[in-house]
Amino acid sequence: MDEVWSALGAISTAVGALIVMIGGIYARSQVNEARLARNITLLIDFQRQYHSLEFRDFRSRLLIGEFGEPESLDPETFDPVDQHKFWMLVDQIEFLGILVERRLIDFDLVLSSFHRSPPRVWNAIKPYILRRRARQLPLLGIHFERLVQRYNDEYPSYVNRFTKSIR
């Protein structure tokens, strides 16, 4: 009779371990689903603002040189509304870079949603950002720059097609 109880105990332990393993697999799949949902929610919220007509118009004006060539660009000379839009744009792409660096959003989703925009914007404002870094804000735009570097590292021919000439 002891052998039967031992066998039942072993079977019970094996079944318990199997249930725990299945529970772990299920929990892992739920974590992956939650991460995907978070990525989509972050991207939709970000994209809604980034691609609004107001900000799309501002980016277009920036990229065609309405505010000056990249080397002479100075947002402090913009009217207050455009100055606000400039800093919103810088902050938005900086935030996007942080999300990618922290792996809170997948880079491929960023590339699919924002195509060539971050590298083009970076090329238009890079001299100004670098001047501000040198003078007073050493961390200004570092995540933005890293995001653009990732574009360049992973898809150089794609990026080069759109950034050779901004205008």
Average per-residue pLDDT for the chain? 85
Maximum mean pLDDT: which of 15-29, 32-46, 137-151? 137-151
The predicted-structure confidence for 123-135, as pLDDT tens digits, reads as follows: 999 999 999 999 9
Identify the pLDDT of residue 130. 96
Long-range CB contacts (within 8 A, 24+) of 39-44:
39/104, 39/105, 39/106, 39/109, 42/99, 42/104, 42/105, 43/105, 43/109, 43/110, 43/113
Q: Could you tell me the residue range of the domain that residue 120 belongs to?
A: 39-163
Alpha-carbon torsion (62, 67, 73, 77), positive or negative: negative
Q: Is the dihedral of CA 27, 28, 29, 35 positive or negative?
A: positive
Tokens for 19, please give them. 């249930």
Structurally, the chain folds into a number of domains equal to 1
Indicate whether 2 belongs to any domain.
Answer: no
Neighbours of 37 (CB within 10 A): 10
**Position 20 in a domain:** no
- 115 falls within a domain: yes
Q: Is residue 83 part of a domain?
A: yes
- The answer, yes or no, to whether residue 164 has pLDDT greater than 60, is no
14 within some domain: no
Q: Which DSSP letter does residue 78 get?
A: S
Residue 63 lies in a domain: yes
State pTM to two decimals. 0.72
Quick one: pLDDT at residue 98?
A: 93
Residue 59, domain member (yes or no): yes
Query: Is residue 46 a contact partner of residue 92, using CB atoms and an 8 Å limit?
Result: yes
* CA-closest candidate to residue 96, choices 31, 49, 61: 49
